[in-house]
């Protein structure tokens, strides 16, 4: 194969990075498309993990093929596992092919979206991308049909270890809360130290320009202290059980779009690509104020701590009972304690949906894996308590919170009840 020019390689890397940043959006759009099809009624009863099954692995395979790197998973094997799961849940072969066609269509739409963002992309790059998508679709079809023909029996997962892990996680969360409050107290002490030092400097004779610099530093630190104190007060109120839940009908889609619009200016200033995808309307019953606080905290964190690349926001109905909001960024990941502990505790559990082989579930199905990463500690401030506030509000609303993080970025997924009042 002839050696490609540097522009081709750069553009292909851009495309794979874009697909990575849009992975959760791709899966949510696919799920929404299938749920809207009356020929796929069975799918509406699936959880997110059941519905996506092995498709996140296959998205990774597509990226590996685009870059010509060694494949970490066998596409035929994983599509066979996906096909077997569908057979076990009562799908016909026609229904399986029907849902996969939606999957390919969503990926093709992402290619078109990428071209709109990068119109200078070479024709050869997109031709290669479409060729690899076609090849992947052939492998997926081959694997799915094979497992439909063989009619294998599924195996049961053992739940004891999962319950033990959950108990350990609860104990760890308790310890980590204390550690985080200690860290915030340390940050506050440092800020007050700066304030005291600047106040003392203002007493000394100095030039007007120096005094203005001191006043600016004083003002900036006062704002930081005020923000941290507000966060601590919110956290303390949640911990004390003083929050009251109010159930009212509201449009979750409208609320999310308003919040995305509110951070567009900040994203533009940082030259980030901010994209939001989901149904135009998503009527739910719940506490709109608390849902707003959850999304606002996560969205601001994603934009503030991502230096380059994308921030993707997507939302969808998971099934008749739950809806979900996902915020994915290409920032440095959740890095130091106690955030890395929180991320490990909230890593999605593998449900018994991919245990369609004797050896049990495969770790590939998460798509994004946790990694040990180092970063600049100066960027970790006490304001990070917002992440713990989000978790506490989720507990209050009986919502779930998943975190997937690596050096490539972070994905936080929140699942909420469609009708909180009926819980």
CATH number for the domain that contains residue 203: 1.10.287.130
Length of the chain: 423
72 and 130 together in one domain = yes
Residue pLDDT, tens place only, 361-387: 333 333 333 332 233 333 444 345 668
C-alpha 127 chain-centroid distance? 30
Q: Where are the alpha helices (DSSP H) in 279-384?
A: 288-305, 339-345
Q: Which CATH number is 94's domain given?
A: 1.10.490
Q: What is the pTM of this model?
A: 0.65
pLDDT given at position 375: 33
- Across 140-145, average pLDDT: 84
119 and 32 together in one domain = yes
Can you state the angle between helices 208-239 and 160-203, rounded to 10 degrees?
A: 150
221 and 88 together in one domain = no
Q: Report if residue 323 sits inside a domain.
A: no
Q: Report if residue 304 sits inside a domain.
A: no
Check pLDDT > 70 for residue 161.
no
pLDDT given at position 202: 57
77 and 180 together in one domain = no
Residue pLDDT, tens place only, 247-265: 899 999 999 999 999 999 9
322 — pLDDT class (breaks 50, 70, 90): very high
61 within 8 A of 77, measured Cβ to Cβ: no
Higher pLDDT, 355 or 262: 262
Check pLDDT > 50 for residue 352.
no
4 and 146 together in one domain = yes
Q: Mean of the per-residue pLDDT values for the chain?
A: 77
- Across 26-49, average pLDDT: 89
150 and 173 together in one domain = no
pLDDT given at position 40: 87
Rounded distance between C-alpha atoms, residue 47 and residue 42, angstroms: 11
- Across 79-99, average pLDDT: 86
23 — pLDDT class (breaks 50, 70, 90): very high
Residue 349: C-alpha distances to residues 76, 159, 325 (Å): 24, 11, 18
Residue pLDDT, tens place only, 263-307: 999 899 999 999 999 999 999 999 998 899 899 889 988 998 899
Q: Report if residue 189 sits inside a domain.
A: yes
Token reading at 390 = 């989000």
87 — pLDDT class (breaks 50, 70, 90): confident
118 and 62 together in one domain = yes
Domain boundary among 239, 264, 281: 239
pLDDT given at position 411: 94
106 and 171 together in one domain = no
Q: In terms of Cα–Cα distance, which of 65, 96, 101, 103 is closest to 81?
A: 96
Q: Report if residue 371 sits inside a domain.
A: no
Above pLDDT 90, what percent of the chain? 43
Domain boundary among 109, 137, 154: 154
Please give the residue range of the domain that contains residue 29.
Answer: 1-154
Domain boundary among 239, 264, 292: 239
In what helix (H) or strand (E) does residue 400 lie, and over which residues does it extend? strand 400-406
Domains held by the chain: number: 2
2 and 88 together in one domain = yes
The residues pairing with 105 across neighbouring beta strands, listed in sequence order, are none
84 and 37 together in one domain = yes
């Amino acid at each position: 194969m002839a050696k490609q020019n540097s522009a081709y390689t750069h553009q292909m890397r851009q495309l794979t990075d874009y697909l990575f940043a849009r992975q959760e959006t791709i899966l949510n759009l696919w799920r929404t498309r299938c749920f809207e099809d009356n020929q796929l009624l069975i799918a509406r009863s699936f959880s997110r993990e059941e519905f996506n099954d092995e498709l996140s692995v296959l998205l990774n395979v597509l990226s590996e093929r685009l870059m010509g790197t060694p494949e970490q998973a066998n596409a035929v094997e994983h599509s066979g596992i996906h096909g077997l799961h569908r057979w076990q849940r009562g799908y016909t072969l026609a229904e399986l092919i029907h849902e996969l066609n939606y999957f390919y269509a969503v990926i093709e739409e992402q290619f078109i979206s990428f071209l709109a963002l990068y119109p200078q992309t070479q024709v050869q790059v997109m031709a290669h991308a479409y060729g690899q998508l076609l090849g992947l679709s052939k492998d997926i079809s081959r694997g799915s049909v094979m497992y439909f023909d063989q009619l294998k029996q599924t195996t049961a997962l053992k739940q004891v270890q999962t319950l033990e892990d959950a108990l350990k996680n609860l104990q760890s969360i308790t310890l980590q809360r204390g550690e985080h409050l200690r860290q915030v107290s340390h940050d506050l002490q440092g800020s007050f130290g700066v304030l005291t030092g600047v106040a003392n400097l203002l007493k000394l004779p100095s030039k007007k320009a120096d005094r203005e610099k001191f006043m600016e530093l004083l003002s900036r630190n006062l704002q930081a202290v005020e923000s941290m104190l507000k966060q601590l007060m919110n956290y303390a109120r949640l911990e004390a059980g003083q929050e009251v839940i109010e159930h009212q009908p509201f449009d979750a889609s409208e609320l999310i779009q308003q919040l995305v619009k509110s951070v567009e200016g900040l994203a533009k200033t940082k030259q980030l690509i901010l994209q939001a995808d989901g149904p135009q309307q998503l009527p739910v019953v719940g506490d709109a104020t608390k849902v707003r606080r959850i999304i606002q905290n996560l969205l601001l964190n994603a934009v503030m701590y991502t230096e380059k690349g994308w921030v993707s926001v997507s939302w969808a109905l998971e099934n008749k009972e739950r809806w979900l909001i996902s915020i994915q960024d290409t920032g440095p990941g959740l890095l130091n304690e106690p955030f890395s502990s929180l991320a490990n505790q909230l890593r999605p559990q593998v449900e018994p949906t991919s245990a369609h082989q004797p050896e049990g579930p495969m770790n590939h199905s998460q798509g994004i894996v946790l990694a040990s990463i180092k970063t600049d500690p100066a960027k970790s401030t006490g304001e990070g308590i917002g992440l713990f506030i989000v978790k506490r509000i989720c507990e209050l609303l009986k919502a779930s919170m998943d975190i997937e993080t690596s050096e490539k970025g972070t994905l936080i997924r929140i699942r909420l009840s469609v009708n909180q009042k009926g819980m």
